Amino acid sequence: MNRTTRIQELDEEVETPDQEAQLITIDSINESNKWVNLRAKVTQLWDSEHESIDQIGLIGDETGTIKFVKWAKSELAPLEEGKSYSFENLTTDEFEERFSVKFNKSSSIKELDEDIETVDREPQLVSIADINQSEQWINLRAKVVQLWDSEHESIDQIGLIGDETGTIKFVKWAKSELAPLEEGKSYSFENLTTDEFEERSSVKFNKSSSIKELDEDIETPDREAQLVEIDSINESNKWVNLRAKVVQLWESEHESIDQVGLVGDETGTIKFVKWAKSELPSLEEGKSYSFENLTTDEFEERFSVKFNKSSSINELDEDIEVGFSATEFTGAMVHIQDGSGLIRRCPICNRALMKGTCMEHGNVDGIHDLRIKAVLDDGTMVQEALFNREITESISGITLEEAKEMAVDALDQSVVMDEMKKRLLGRYYTMSGSILDRYMLVENVWLVEGVPDNGIDALLAEVT
């Protein structure tokens, strides 16, 4: 769960658009939630990253092109790139002032004998700094600045390319079946398409794209990394050096990620990702390091740093002090997540063990610890929280030694979490700490007395 606004069911019936679709041209689409018919050609099919999407790409007519989404549940016939169709009962949509059309169960597809002419998509050779629109066909001469590890099978390669004017993210789909790119080499790229998400542009390779290695070395902007403080990171695709402490290590859900967590300095904290292919030494929670040649990234207005093959890690003798911005939250504890109670940690890296195994160091003799991963609800928002051993002992009244005895007596360490649920769920607490990713790292917690029980049973029912 993320801290988010609760969604309530509306009493009134939501009005649906008039389903009488009109035949229109693509350039006349200027409203969402309209039913339309189109005669258009499939100019490009993209790879979908979601099982719910059957096909996604671009269609075009004489007046322009538009993105389409065909849902898997629509159960419509597959579209073929380059063929022309009559489409009926599509709905229009808008996101960030960009329109698209969507196929649904009431839509129909009929292949045409004629070839629909589309607007000239002859790509032009451009500089990266000139890219400021989506769904444009372009050619580039650029160097592969960095290759990242992809978390999706549909993506063959992903990373950064650059020329004299700047750098840009690229995505090369697996189905494009193009030759692999090598970091540091320069290429001529033809028939790429531009894309934009949250005001950040990118380019995508497709089946019609071509790649040709160049003998010359394309110059890119000086990527000499500068030593910065964490609170000064406000741009993506920048090279930086940091002096920081590893505040927290999280369990990674992807084989491509070696380590993920939080690092911090005197000015704040930031998420980091260390790719498995970077082949860098393991970081240990609580230790301070000098990090060089990291790259910055941004997602949903939150920044992170990424380690790559050119990054370096040096442990420091000094202890970096970490600055936190404390916040408070008051609510009912409605859920205690798995991984709470009596746990074991790796004696080397301090990660929580999963079935007796550390993801980094394999089978180890774990060290016992106590923690609570809780969800609190104030009736409007929810907040996930992490309680360390000291806070857990204080709030639950169960010490580490008592928890170990309980587990031995029951031959099952889950009894500790069960007992914590009995003691804590449904009670109101005020907690203070720092917000790191989706969790609050709790530093202080107080029981709130005299809060009415109205609504607690309903809240508990929602999460149990």
pTM for this predicted structure: 0.46
- pLDDT bucket at 3, cuts 50 / 70 / 90: very low
Looking at residues 440-455, what average pLDDT do you find? Answer: 78
pLDDT of residue 441: 86
Q: Does residue 221 fall inside a structural domain?
A: no
149 or 92: which leads in pLDDT = 92
Indicate whether 30 and 98 sit together in one domain: yes
Indicate whether 382 and 456 sit together in one domain: yes
Indicate whether 46 and 91 sit together in one domain: yes
Last residue of a domain, which of 277, 293, 315? 315
**Which residues, in sequence order, are bridge partners of residue 166?**
163
Looking at residues 115-121, what average pLDDT do you find? Answer: 80
> Which pLDDT tens digit goes with each residue over 286-313?
999 999 989 888 876 678 999 987 789 9
Looking at residues 13-24, what average pLDDT do you find? Answer: 63
Nearest alpha-carbon partner for 163 in 189, 142, 145: 142
Lowest mean pLDDT among 262-266, 305-309, 416-420: 305-309
| Mean model confidence pLDDT for the chain | 85
**Which residues, in sequence order, are bridge partners of residue 327?**
433
pLDDT of residue 119: 73
267 or 291: which leads in pLDDT = 291
The tokens describing 107, both together, are: 């839509």
- The fraction of the chain above a pLDDT of 70, given in percent, is 88
pLDDT of residue 248: 82
Last residue of a domain, which of 84, 111, 138? 111
Q: Does residue 452 fall inside a structural domain?
A: yes
Indicate whether 179 and 57 sit together in one domain: no
Asked if the model's pLDDT at residue 456 lies above 60, the reply is: no
Q: Are strands 186-197 and 210-213 parallel, antiparallel or unpaired?
A: antiparallel
Q: Does residue 3 fall inside a structural domain?
A: no
- pLDDT bucket at 243, cuts 50 / 70 / 90: very high
Lowest mean pLDDT among 103-107, 198-202, 297-301, 454-458: 454-458
Q: Does residue 285 fall inside a structural domain?
A: yes
Number of domains in the chain: 4
pLDDT of residue 346: 82
Indicate whether 331 and 449 sit together in one domain: yes
- What DSSP string runs through 329-356? EEEEEEEE-TT-EEEEE-TTT-PBPBTT
Other C-beta atoms lying within 10 Å of the C-beta of residue 179: 12
Lowest mean pLDDT among 7-11, 151-155, 445-449: 7-11
In whole angstroms, what is the distance from residue 90 CA to residue 107 CA? 6
Q: Cα torsion at 109, 111, 115, 121 (round to 10°)?
A: 40
pLDDT of residue 211: 96
Asked if the model's pLDDT at residue 7 lies above 50, the reply is: no
Indicate whether 351 and 456 sit together in one domain: yes
Q: Does residue 2 fall inside a structural domain?
A: no
- Which range of 111-125, 290-304, 379-393 scores highest in mean pLDDT? It is 379-393
Indicate whether 347 and 447 sit together in one domain: yes
Asked if the model's pLDDT at residue 241 lies above 90, the reply is: yes
Looking at residues 406-428, what average pLDDT do you find? Answer: 94
Looking at residues 26-54, what average pLDDT do you find? Answer: 87
pLDDT of residue 5: 37
pLDDT of residue 316: 96
Last residue of a domain, which of 281, 315, 349? 315
pLDDT of residue 451: 62
pLDDT of residue 151: 65
4 or 407: which leads in pLDDT = 407
Q: Does residue 75 fall inside a structural domain?
A: yes
Range of the domain at 389: 326-463
3-state secondary structure of 230: helix
Burial class (CB in 10 A: 0-12, 13-18, 19+), 113: exposed
Asked if the model's pLDDT at residue 85 lies above 80, the reply is: yes
Other C-beta atoms lying within 10 Å of the C-beta of residue 139: 16
- pLDDT bucket at 9, cuts 50 / 70 / 90: very low
pLDDT of residue 403: 96
**CB of 304 closer than 8 Å to CB of 270:** yes
Lowest mean pLDDT among 40-54, 372-386, 419-433: 40-54
pLDDT of residue 64: 86
203 or 279: which leads in pLDDT = 203
pLDDT of residue 260: 87
Indicate whether 307 and 431 sit together in one domain: no
- Alpha helices (H) along 108-262: none
**CB of 205 closer than 8 Å to CB of 179:** no
Indicate whether 142 and 64 sit together in one domain: no
Indicate whether 244 and 203 sit together in one domain: no
- pLDDT bucket at 2, cuts 50 / 70 / 90: very low
Indicate whether 451 and 343 sit together in one domain: yes
Q: Does residue 13 fall inside a structural domain?
A: no
Indicate whether 177 and 206 sit together in one domain: yes
Asked if the model's pLDDT at residue 454 lies above 70, the reply is: no
pLDDT of residue 8: 40
- pLDDT bucket at 10, cuts 50 / 70 / 90: very low
- pLDDT bucket at 69, cuts 50 / 70 / 90: very high
The H or E element spanning position 456 is helix 456-463
Lowest mean pLDDT among 8-12, 214-218, 426-430: 8-12
Asked if the model's pLDDT at residue 50 lies above 90, the reply is: no
The tokens describing 242, both together, are: 């940091």
At 388, which CATH number? 2.40.50.140
- pLDDT bucket at 12, cuts 50 / 70 / 90: very low
Q: Does residue 7 fall inside a structural domain?
A: no
